[in-house]
Structure 1
Amino acid sequence: MMDFDLSTGFRSPIWAGFTLVASIVAFRYFQVASRVVDSILRRKYPIHHASSNEDLPTTPFILPNGQGNVEKFLNGQENSVKWGSQFGPVYRIWSGFQGEVVLTRPSDIEVVFRDSHSHQKAPSNNSGHLMNLLLGSCVGLISGSEWQNVRRATEQHFLRPSAKALIPRVLANAKTYISTMYSDRTNEKWEKSTDERPGREWNLHPVVDLKNYPFLVVAEVLYGPLSDDLQRRLIALIPGRVKVFNQVIQGGISRFQASRALPLRIHREIDAFKVEWARWNDDAHAAAILSQQQHDGKASKTEMTQLRPAILDMYKSVAEGLATQEHILQTLDEMLFANLDVTMGGISWPLIFLAAHMDVQNTLRREIASISPETEGEMERYILSQDTYLHHVILEAARLRPLVPFSIPQSCPTPRLVSGYKVPAGTNFIVDTHALNIRDPAWGPDNTCFRPERWRGISGKESRYRYWRFGFGPRLCLGKHVADVMIKALIYELVQRSELVVGENDEWRWDEECWINHPAMEIKCVNNNESSD
């Protein structure tokens, strides 16, 4: 009998050959199976041109995700160019077994989104079973009366009046956050430096260094001030949530509901997270009730302390039968965790562009210097205004660096004629944000240049279907007003106190493992004054 040495057997030529053959067979099997599924899907969901009867250009289906989340989000920036060049301005991809028609031109987007109030969001974003378990019932991914009820329970805390009431607190938070970070960096330099004064320069990685700022602001909107214990437990949930969501994006066999029957670790991990998330929210709700009772009993009240935590009304909606606990828990997850990635992209890219364009930064600094914070209502008007250079800087950064390459899929209740193709009712559409925001001819020959001035005089109606940021129509992002307040407050604080600089030879990298377009680079901050406070 031949002995098999475990230490060398798997490195033997025979084993290597067997592995190679098995890999080739498996690859060929997936190729053949993918072609079969592709043929079935095209026959089941035909889309033809009205005059020529030609099929709508469609990417080949590839098991198991189709073009799914990985190709849409992680590789979306490259695929936007690749697919557009290969298939034209209107084409179809597959997300799992669901087709999604890609729109790239304002005229087609207007045809599709003119009645977006009646659209249906794709179940669980067409991202499969795990997404359904984690976020399938959140307000951003549901439709119809279900969406109306959940939105009604949450929207009052994120509308423009509520965002206005938040401004003093958010400005104070931004000032404290930046001051503390500068102080910490200065102390680190003092410890490492032999110079008497280590200088006023410090490095800032926008995504890494600023991530707790929007997280804690949104947490306060949702839950009110958190105790040290609740804050510690909340932060402890983050690694598990990140791990689960990364698997959601990767897809694979776990995108299918049948995978529940398999002994996959991801199901145990997502179940454990959901149990801990529900327990934490129950405790945070109890703390919010107690805090509100104590606040209501006080004789003197100020604007800074009258904000009612959103969780009180959200839990009340469950008690009244307007929403389920799963709706509320997943919506809280969406607002705090999923939207944190979105907000960080919205904060970090304007800072990168400002650091790279000193002329723009100086213009913004002059505008900021002209504001009188002591004048009652001046800061609120400035932060909320959509006709300031600060707002135009944010719009332009979002134009050149869309947070996602492709929008969330949604379907129309009636058929549409899109560039001559007869698209049946119920077909999902997505928008190629890079094609729309950057490559569309309407942006002119300097379409790839960072020029905030281009937004002067452009009305919301003019840019409605040729610019994507928060979506289209009444299903715009619920948190857009609060997000803008947070972004503007932080930029205001940084630009007035520091000069932002990016090296001429620094490569503009982004985080390739994040589903949102995040920069993976540092900028230098040079404080304008010695005190910095």
Structure 2
Amino acid sequence: MFTLITVVSLVSFASFYSLLYFRGKWILETILSLTLPWINSGVLRAAPNVNLGWFVEKLLGQAMGLLYGPDWKRLRKIFDPAFTHAAAVTRIDGVVSAARQYVEELPQMALGGPRQASHDQASYSIPVQKAFTKFSYFLTAKTIYGPMTREEETELWQVTEKRVMLNQYWVGGGIYRFETTARLHDKLAVQRLEEFIHEWHDYNVRIVDVRRRRGESPPIITYWEELEAGNISSTELLQTLDELLMLNLDVITHVTTWFITLMATHEQATNELREEIATYKDDLNQYLASTSTHLHRSFLESMRIRPFAIFTIGESSSSVKNFHGVLVKPNTQVLVDVLAINVRNPFWGPNSEAFDPGRLKNIKPSDVRKISASFSYNKGANFMPQLRYNLHSFGIGSRKCMGQFVAGHIVKSLVVHLFDRYDVQSIDENKANASASAGMGSWTPKSDAVLRLTRRDGVL
């Protein structure tokens, strides 16, 4: 799941707003060149509840991603082992099998019903968002819960739908920032919140009980043992599971749908992908794990121009920060403008808004280890910072998204099997270039394209 001109958004910035305004564009772009190293330095902390108030506190206030310092490190140590690169690689076989089966069953999701996509029909249409939301979600869930029965998946989805319904309240803020006003003016919202918390707890208790009776030890059992040992609270555990699954449902859906939509509207990228699939068809595990392929570059490029969030979560420092002479007071909330890093950035050249995976071919994160101490907008990009400071995809530094490897394998495997088995076209190609809007029930803009799938003879 950020712009150059509006790099920082400050909660209490009146004292130096005029300085930023009169100094103009150069100062703001200079701030950008230092903002990422500062955030990466680990001196920042997230604002309580992300400054969104009581409703978020009840829903996600103790989730790992909203904590900092010792509490964040404690939870990260508990949850991280199941999501490391090494752990994710061991599950690629299962991901590949699941992707192959899912693509084979896509006709069931055809517009007009399965009859419209019978084997007698060469092609059919599917809505990209509806068709690809559950695949990544349930594979991520199985990373935590282990193999799941159809009944367990159905029950999880029912709880998830109730959780997604709550987004309209915390995203909107307003009366939901305070318990008194929320209970006074929207009793239904509070009732839904309390019902979800109760059902989410019960679902996980049942899963743990079933796994223990079977003698199975998926990560959820390890998490529960940490709970019983007093190393994590029930609220921290359940809210972090919510973060990993339900909060990130929008994120993984955004990443998946835009990757597919962008590939579908760029023939050259698709052709190169198919050539690469033919080369790696006998070693898909290596292919999906590799970060030096056209597939991986296309994955990163889709996240570059369609990041799942426009701004980062607000963070602050307890000390004064100096951005090229602009002093930022302690505890000032700072937001990083992702589009400024990913798109409106001289590093990416004049066609920075275009989907062009080839631009990443000769760029490696280790190419340059130092950021130039001088930057002149008038002179252009006279420096070559390392990629880590010019691409915001899974976060920054030690706080990078824990599920990045799991998500990457899942999404790439789905794309490989989809484009190998089908010619994929966007019925409305303007959808790929439009800035999709997110409704109040969602916090990320997902592609809402309709795809036309035409069967082809693949190599897998």
Q: TM-score, normalised by structure 2?
A: 0.86
8 Å CA contact 2:48–2:61 kept in 1: the answer is yes
Alignment map for 1:53-92 (pairs within 5 Å): 54-56=18-20, 88=25
* CA displacement, residues 304-360 of structure 1 (integer Å, 9 cap, x when unaligned): xxxx42211111111121110000000111111111111111111111111111111
Q: Which residue does 1:150 correspond to in 2?
A: 75
CA distance in 2, matches of 1:141, 1:352: 31
Q: Which residue does 2:280 correspond to in 1?
A: 371
Q: Find the partner of 1:526 among 441, 451, 454.
A: 454
Change over 3 Å in CA distance of 1:262–1:185 after alignment to 2 = closer
How far does residue 261 in structure 1 lie from its aligned partner after superposition? Answer: 5.2
CA distance in 2, matches of 1:90, 1:245: 36
Q: Which residue does 1:251 correspond to in 2?
A: 173
CA distance in 2, matches of 1:506, 1:141: 37
Q: Which residue does 1:30 correspond to in 2?
A: none
Q: Which residue does 1:499 correspond to in 2?
A: 423
Is residue 2:445 matched to residue 1:517? Answer: yes
CA distance in 1, matches of 2:450, 2:213: 42
8 Å CA contact 2:108–2:114 kept in 1: the answer is no
Runs of 5+ in structure 1 lacking a partner?
1-40, 59-85, 92-102, 296-307
How far does residue 252 in structure 1 lie from its aligned partner after superposition? Answer: 1.0
How far does residue 188 in structure 1 lie from its aligned partner after superposition? Answer: 4.0
Give RMSD over aligned pairs: 2.7
Percent identity for Structure 1 against Structure 2: 25
Residue identity opposite 2:130 in structure 1: V
Q: Which residue does 1:119 correspond to in 2?
A: 44
8 Å CA contact 2:175–2:185 kept in 1: the answer is no
Alignment map for 1:213-232 (pairs within 5 Å): 213-232=135-154
Secondary structure in 1 aligned to 2:454? strand
Q: Find the partner of 1:273 among 196, 207, 211.
A: 196
Is residue 2:133 matched to residue 1:208? Answer: no
Is residue 2:368 matched to residue 1:440? Answer: no
How far does residue 260 in structure 1 lie from its aligned partner after superposition? Answer: 5.2
Secondary structure in 1 aligned to 2:390? coil
Is residue 2:217 matched to residue 1:290? Answer: no
Change over 3 Å in CA distance of 1:191–1:249 after alignment to 2 = closer
Q: Which residue does 2:375 correspond to in 1?
A: none
Secondary structure in 2 aligned to 1:262? helix
Secondary structure in 2 aligned to 1:430? coil
Q: Which residue does 1:473 correspond to in 2?
A: 397
Is residue 2:301 matched to residue 1:400? Answer: no
CA distance in 2, matches of 1:90, 1:258: 42
Residue identity opposite 1:235 in structure 2: W
Change over 3 Å in CA distance of 1:48–1:364 after alignment to 2 = same
How far does residue 502 in structure 1 lie from its aligned partner after superposition? Answer: 2.0
How far does residue 366 in structure 1 lie from its aligned partner after superposition? Answer: 0.3
* CA displacement, residues 260-312 of structure 1 (integer Å, 9 cap, x when unaligned): 55252211110111011101110011112223x1x5xxxxxxxxxxxx42211
How far does residue 441 in structure 1 lie from its aligned partner after superposition? Answer: 1.4
Q: Which residue does 1:356 correspond to in 2?
A: 265
CA distance in 1, matches of 2:314, 2:294: 33
CA distance in 1, matches of 2:34, 2:251: 26
Q: How many residues align?
A: 426
Q: TM-score, normalised by structure 1?
A: 0.75
Runs of 5+ in structure 2 lacking a partner?
1-10, 367-385
8 Å CA contact 2:310–2:338 kept in 1: the answer is yes
Between 1 and 2, higher relative CO (CA 8 Å, sep ≥ 6) is seen in: 2
8 Å CA contact 1:498–1:527 kept in 2: the answer is yes
Is residue 2:239 matched to residue 1:325? Answer: no
Secondary structure in 1 aligned to 2:389? coil
Change over 3 Å in CA distance of 1:184–1:443 after alignment to 2 = closer
Alignment map for 1:8-23 (pairs within 5 Å): none
CA distance in 1, matches of 2:183, 2:172: 19
